């Protein structure tokens, strides 16, 4: 068990950049200090050790090829020096390899590709690990995709624990719009050991952000706020929060559940000492595994526990000639416009599938489709494939926490796809289907779901991220539509898993499909089905959901319904004629 | 325990009228024989005793004021003589006072009022009981209303056991169109001790009719077929079925479950002897309490176990100005036309209520409305009132087995109304409402339902005839619509009672009521609600029921749905445009 997983507080150090500025007589890149002012560095770090820091951060925040290139320094040399200095300063503490943002914008906002960024982070990780650091701290991230890239580089190129913090503005967003809950969903999914918030603002203004992180995280949470806002006085930068005030606020965060405490810009050893004093005697809040299922794009997240999740089937190319042609021609303008349409109609999640299109490579098409959608839309995506290469590429590209669709209860499928899902921290939908074909009784549906859950646990997926699709089969073929609903209720009740139903299958080959679909939809809602795959362009389906939310108490008193009613045609012929 | 309730066969005697014709040298009214040929009568009855009959029937089939009046005989004198003769002939057997039809058609087919018929039957019953008969046999009835009238007269004017049989044609209907199942529902409800089939046809042709009676009856079933069809030969009436063939067929009926066996026209003592021989050594079929809930008009019946019951709210005057005026003006043409409309739209049951109409007497209006509806329509009715006088009058008038609506779980209501419901053998709907007001949680709904069931049992109602309305309350007032549905499921599951929901209440004071109503309807169907009170003129509600029947497996494979689809507007916009 790592120290941060234990019952107790862990203290990080405080600011380094601001300390260097004060003590170094010239204006240099902070990372140059590793070569030119190792004694000053070591002195600062010794002060943090003395103040009680358990983890000392290397002076490598900007030690990446882009920044070092500008001053003609070699990355590996700088990182090795930095780790050695920290180790000397803190022989009996942990040394964290510091990795900050690369200082260039990634696609789609900027020009830097995922692969370029990955390569830069990889070099830092390899150098740091080689130099013997104890863990990797990816910090001050303001672009979720860059954070993802750094975390993947850290995990794929070392076995070291990975901590990751991001910075937020006063509205609670990172530079690229990610909110704290979305950050938690994504970073936890990627398997970081600790996550949190650093830099950003003074600790008082960070309180609501830290609260949101703590409300959603199941892993240890760290905070490293600035000492308030910078103020220029006497030609120097000062920070406006005293160490006492700083420590008070960190004690509040500790009471809320943060267990790893430190400082960022403007803090020095005296701040860390005060923080230690402030939490002395406090019992850390017991961490709880959060049960909710979070899904998100790079900035938009929702919890499947707080709403009925509407999944659009409208961008699936099969059965829609125009759309299929758009995929084949790679007409992304058209595809993205279809996704936008689904989002505007009320889809919380849009299902994508690129397999089986004549002459097209499933993987390339999936990756390009995701990129194009995420360029302009923030609706979360469901990625449907049974091909592990496609899934790996899609999930690597997808900036957020996706839902993977396409699994089932057959051994081969699970063993091939679960590792990919686990690695990228996606949620997954699995059909109650195995080597014996689709389950046709609720008992069989339940038993396949149980097998799926067991296997998912073996691959270390969290049960909250396992969604079962108990398979709606066509009544025209004699299927028992209620059996699927009963199975859904049993899977929820007995296994505690979420369930998704593909509503439209029920009416396959029947006349008046809309009537059957919306009637079945109402039934499914009343039995507590969590997610519905459906045609969101069918107005009556969406209206049925609005009504269903009122009737199942998710729109108490119907206030949303009343608001929406203006746009819905009146359907009741009242009793006023004999 | 009466002999017919025990485990064994009971034998009735055979024909009397045909025997008298053979032995009396002149053409007289058969009942005149009680005065003029007592020895011949006694001889015939002694033969039946010798043949093994356990019950000997008095020669009083036509001993009613209308028939006796024509020949100037006094009813009481004739009945007393007949009972004395039978008692002499069969001192150690049971004597059944025979009551046949009055020979005049009752309203609405004929002119005889219920009260006139009742008075004639009452005189027979009082005379027979006074003369010391052991039971009353009402037989050869071909009009259900006349049978009801005779049974009520028997039960209200004596404490004697009442047997009642009706006659059917080859299509399985009585003269006025009643089928065997309807007869069973009505006569069992009225509390007869034994019911069955007599006369009609030869025993072979009666087999399917007797089967239908046995499939539906919970009380002992008797059969007294003719010895086949009459043929005129040598100036005399003969019957074409031999005693051996007759006995063979009665043995089949015994195997099917009939336990009280005898003969009608054309049978003599030798037939009864053969029947006895034919069933000797047979073990009677164990009688089972039937669990189904039958509802009927005078000729149309349905089982609530075989279908979702649709109850029309369209003839309730409140909230419909035109209809209310029609009730106030007693414009029965308009009211009946509204009932016809509801029936044609698919209502299985039409709810009626006449309380609270300005200047109108609830009872008179209810009785006249029932009479007018039953004059031309055979749709079963739900009679809604909390007034015991109104209910008594309504149920006395109603020709069939009605559903009474208007009860609840409050002690006073139950104690006032259950006796009336029990007496007339109606089913009953009771709200989960008591002295504390309407239940608002499913646990409370369930507990009031349990109290209702317990009280109903105390008043000897069968649980199958107790239907609970767990009260849909308006979501606009903050009601939890799913709680009512969950209560319905719990009441079915834990108490085994049927449940009815008044769907439209859910949307009270909301916009887009139709959308909420049909969504709620679909939900209710999926939870197994048995009966739905709704506006059958709302096309979309009825379509939702059609779809719901497919989805809940009551229209397997959707064959009915596909047939109906021709008349339903297409609602699905298929996915064919990007
Ligand atoms: Zn900072
Ligand atoms: Zn910092
Ligand atoms: Zn007869």
Instruction: Tell me which DSSP letter residue B353 carries.
Output: E
Tell me what pLDDT residue B340 has: 98
In a domain, B538, yes or no: yes
Give the pLDDT confidence score for residue B200 in this predicted structure: 85
Mean pLDDT, chain B, whole residue set: 95
Domain assignment present for residue A560? The answer is no
A334 reaches B (C-beta below 8 A): yes
Residues B255 and B319 in one domain: no
User: Any idea what the CATH number is for the domain that residue B61 is in?
Assistant: 3.20.20.330
Identity of the residue in B485, B571, B577 whose CB atom sits nearest the CB atom of A512: B571
Q: With contacts defined as CB-CB under 8 Å, which chain B residues touch A550?
A: 475, 481, 510, 516
H helix runs in A403-538, sequence order: 411-424, 442-458, 481-490, 513-526
In a domain, B290, yes or no: no
Quote the tokens at residue B107.
Answer: 């309203």
Phi/psi of residue A35, each to 5°?
A: -95, -40
Q: A236 in helix, strand or coil?
A: strand
Give Cβ neighbours of residue A260 (< 8 Å, ≥ 6 apart): A4, A9, A10, A11, A12, A163, A194, A196, A220, A221, A222, A223
* Alpha-carbon gap: A502 to the closest alpha carbon of chain B (Å): 14
Q: Find out whether A460 and A499 touch, Cβ atoms under 8 Å.
A: no
Nearest to B7 by CA among B288, B221, B289, B286: B286
Q: Is A550 near chain B, with CB under 8 Å?
A: yes
Return the higher-pLDDT residue of B19 and A576.
Answer: B19
Residue-by-residue pLDDT tens, chain A, 578 positions: 899 998 899 999 999 998 998 999 899 999 999 999 999 999 999 999 999 999 999 999 999 999 999 999 999 999 999 999 999 999 999 999 999 999 999 999 899 999 999 999 999 999 999 999 999 999 999 999 999 999 999 999 999 999 999 999 999 999 999 999 999 999 999 999 999 999 988 899 999 999 999 999 999 999 999 999 988 888 788 899 999 999 999 999 999 999 999 999 999 999 999 999 999 999 999 999 999 999 999 998 999 999 999 999 999 998 899 999 999 999 999 999 999 999 999 999 999 999 999 999 999 999 999 999 999 999 999 999 999 999 999 999 999 999 999 999 999 999 999 999 999 999 999 999 999 999 999 999 999 999 999 999 999 999 999 999 999 999 999 999 999 999 999 999 999 999 999 999 999 999 999 999 999 999 999 999 999 999 999 999 999 999 999 999 999 889 999 998 875 444 434 433 33
Q: Which residue has the tokens 């970073």?
A: A187
Number of independent structural domains in chain B: 2
B520 touches chain A (CB under 8 A): yes
CATH number of the domain encompassing residue B322: 3.20.20.20
B416: closest CA among B436, B387, B453? B387
Same domain assignment for residues B71 and B205: yes
Q: Which two tokens stand for residue A138?
A: 């990816």
Which member of B313, B485, B537 has the closest CB to residue A573?
B537
> Does residue A373 sit in the same domain as residue A262?
no
Cβ separation B512–A568 shorter than 8 A? yes
The whole-number pLDDT of residue B575 equals 39
Residue B393 has pLDDT above 60, yes or no: yes
Residue A552 located in a structural domain: no
What is the DSSP secondary-structure string of B425-438?
Answer: T-EEEEESEETTEE
A185 and A304 co-located in one domain:
no
Residues A216 and A361 in one domain: no
> Is B498:B304 a contact under the CB 8 Å cutoff?
yes
Alpha helices by DSSP H, B217-357: 243-256, 269-279, 321-328, 332-345
Q: Are residues A229 and A340 in the same domain?
A: no
For B318, name the nearest residue in chain A, comparing CA atoms only.
A575
Tell me if residue B246 falls in helix, strand or coil: helix
**Which residues of chain B from 452 to 481 reach within 8 Å of chain A, CB to CB?**
475-476, 478, 480-481
Nearest in space to A61 (alpha carbons), one of A139, A144, A120: A139
- Is residue B522 domain-resident? yes
Indicate yes or no: CB of B520 within 8 angstroms of CB of A523: no
Q: Give the pLDDT score at B59.
A: 98
Q: CA-CA distances (angstroms) from residue A540 to A348, A510, B35, B106, B540?
A: 17, 18, 80, 53, 12
**What's the residue count for chain B?**
578
Q: Closest to A550 (Cβ–Cβ): which among B516, B570, B572?
A: B516
Which residues in A171-195 are b (16+ Cβ under 10 Å) and which e? ebbbbbebbbbbbbbbbbbbbbbbb
* Closest approach of A108 to chain B, Cα-based (Å): 25
ipTM entry: 0.91
Alpha carbon of B211: minimum distance to chain A alpha carbons (Å): 32
- The last residue of one of the domains, among A249, A279, A309, is A279
Torsion sign (Cα): B206, B208, B211, B217: negative
**Model pLDDT, residue B238:** 86
DSSP string covering A117-152: HHHHHHHHHHHHHHHT-SEEEEEEE--HHHHHHHHH
Q: Which of B506, B514, B551 sits opposite A519 (nearest CB)?
A: B551
CA B448, CA B430: separation in Å to the nearest integer? 10
C-beta separation of A371 from A360 below 8 A: no
For ligand 3, the distance from its centroid to the CA atom of residue B171, given in whole angstroms, is: 17
Instruction: Determine the pLDDT at residue B58.
Output: 98
Phi, psi (deg, nearest 5) at residue B541? -65, -45
Mean pLDDT of B75-93: 98
Using DSSP, state whether A433 is helix, strand or coil: strand
Name the β-bridge partners of B311. B349, B533
Establish if B369 belongs to a structural domain.
yes
Q: Which of B227, B260, B279 is the last residue of a domain?
A: B279
pLDDT at A189: 97
Q: What is the pLDDT of residue B100?
A: 98
Boundary-marking domain end, from B279, B294, B322: B279
Indicate whether A247 and A317 sit together in one domain.
no
Beta carbons of B351 and B405 less than 8 angstroms apart:
yes
Note whether A273 and A358 are same-domain residues: no
Tell me: do B404 and B313 sit in the same domain: yes
CA distances from B199 to B221, B264, B398 (A): 15, 5, 26
Q: For residue A332, what are its two tokens? A: 């992304």
Task: Say how far apart CA A225 and CA A166 lie, in whole Å.
Answer: 11
**Percentage with pLDDT > 70 across chain B:** 98
Cis peptide before B108 (omega within 30 of 0): yes
**Any A CB within 8 A of B486 CB:** no
Is some CB atom of chain A closer than 8 A to the CB atom of B519? yes
First and final C-alpha spacing in chain B:
78
pLDDT score of B548 more than 80: yes
End-to-end CA distance of chain A: 78
Q: Which two tokens stand for residue A236?
A: 């120097």
Closest CA of chain A from B505, distance in Å? 12
- My answer on whether B251 and B116 are in the same domain is yes
Among residues 558-577 of chain A, which lie with CB inside 8 Å of chain B? 558, 561-562, 565, 568, 570-573, 575-577
Mean pLDDT of B156-180: 97
Under DSSP, is residue B511 helix (H, G, I), strand (E, B) or coil? coil
pLDDT of residue A573: 40
Q: How far is the CA of B226 from the centre of ligand 3 (A)?
A: 5
User: What residues make up the domain containing A274?
Assistant: 3-279
CA B272 to chain centre: 30
Cβ-defined contact of B515 to A568 (cutoff 8 Å): yes
Chain B touched by A369 (CB under 8 Å): no
Same domain, residue pair A201 and A305? no
pLDDT for position B565: 82
| Per-residue pLDDT tens over the stretch B414-425 | 999 999 999 999
The reply to whether B478 falls in a domain is yes
Instruction: Give the closest of B338, B516, B561 to A551, CB-based.
Output: B516
Q: Is residue B303 part of a domain?
A: no
Tokens of A182: 């979305």
Looking at the fold, whether A331 and A267 belong to one and the same domain comes out as no
Q: For B441-458, how does the pLDDT look when each residue is reduced to its tens digit (9 = 90+)? A: 999 999 999 999 999 999
* Partner-chain contact A515 B338, CB within 8 Å: no
Tell me, what's the pLDDT at A233? 84
Residue of B nearest to A320 (CA): B576
Q: Which pair of tokens denotes residue B361?
A: 């007497």
């Amino acid at each position: 068990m790592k120290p941060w997983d234990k019952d107790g507080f862990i203290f990080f150090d405080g600011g380094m950049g601001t300390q260097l500025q004060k003590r170094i007589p010239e204006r240099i890149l902070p990372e140059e200090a590793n070569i030119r002012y190792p004694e000053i560095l070591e002195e600062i770090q010794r002060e943090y050790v003395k103040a009680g820091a358990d983890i000392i951060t290397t002076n490598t925040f900007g030690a990446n090829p882009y920044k070092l290139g500008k001053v003609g320094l070699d990355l590996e040399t700088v990182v090795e020096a930095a780790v050695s200095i920290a180790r000397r300063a803190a022989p009996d503490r942990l040394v964290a390899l510091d990795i900050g943002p690369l200082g260039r914008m990634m696609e789609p906002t900027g020009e830097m590709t995922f692969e370029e960024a990955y390569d830069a982070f990889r070099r830092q990780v390899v150098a740091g690990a080689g130099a013997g650091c104890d863990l990797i701290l990816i910090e001050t991230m303001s672009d979720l995709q860059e954070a993802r890239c750094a975390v993947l580089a850290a995990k794929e190129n070392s076995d070291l624990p990975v901590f990751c913090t991001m910075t937020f503005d006063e509205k609670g967003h990172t530079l690229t719009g990610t909110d704290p809950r979305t950050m938690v969903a994504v970073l936890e999914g990627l398997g970081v050991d600790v996550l949190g918030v650093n830099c950003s603002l003074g600790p008082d203004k960070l309180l609501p952000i830290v609260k949101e992180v703590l409300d959603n995280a199941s892993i240890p949470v760290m905070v490293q706020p600035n000492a308030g806002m910078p103020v220029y006085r006497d030609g120097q930068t000062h920070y406006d929060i005293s160490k006492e005030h700083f420590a008070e606020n960190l004690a509040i965060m500790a009471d809320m559940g943060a267990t790893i405490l430190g400082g960022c810009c403007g803090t020095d050893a005296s701040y860390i000492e005060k923080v230690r004093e402030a939490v002395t005697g406090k019992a850390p809040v017991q961490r709880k595994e959060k049960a909710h299922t979070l899904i998100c794009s790079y900035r938009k997240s929702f919890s499947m526990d707080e709403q009925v999740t509407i999944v659009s089937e409208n961008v699936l190319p099969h059965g829609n000639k125009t759309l299929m042609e758009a995929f084949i021609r790679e007409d992304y303008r058209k595809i993205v416009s279809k996704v936008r349409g689904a989002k505007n109609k009320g889809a919380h999640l849009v299902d994508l599938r690129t397999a089986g299109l004549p002459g097209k490579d499933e993987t390339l098409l999936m990756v390009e489709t995701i990129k194009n959608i995420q360029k302009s839309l923030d609706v979360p995506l469901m990625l449907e494939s049974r091909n592990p290469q496609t899934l790996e590429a899609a999930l690597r590209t997808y900036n957020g926490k996706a839902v993977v669709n396409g699994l089932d209860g057959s051994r081969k499928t699970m063993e091939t796809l679960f590792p990919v899902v686990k690695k990228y921290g996606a949620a997954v939908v699995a059909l109650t289907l195995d080597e014996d074909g689709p389950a046709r009784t609720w008992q069989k549906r339940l038993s396949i779901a149980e097998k799926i859950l067991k296997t998912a646990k073996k691959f270390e997926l969290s049960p909250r991220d396992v969604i079962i699709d108990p398979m709606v089969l066509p009544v025209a073929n004699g299927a028992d539509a209620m059996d699927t609903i009963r199975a859904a209720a049993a899977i929820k009740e007995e296994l505690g898993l979420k369930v998704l139903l593909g509503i439209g299958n029920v009416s396959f080959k029947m006349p008046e499909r809309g009537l059957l679909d919306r009637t079945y939809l109402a039934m499914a809602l009343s039995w507590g089905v969590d997610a519905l795959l459906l045609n969101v362009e069918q107005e009556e389906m969406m209206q049925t959901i609005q009504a269903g939310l009122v009737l199942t108490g998710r729109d108490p008193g119907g206030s949303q319904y009343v608001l929406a009613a203006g746009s819905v045609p009146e359907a009741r012929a009242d009793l006023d004629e004999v």
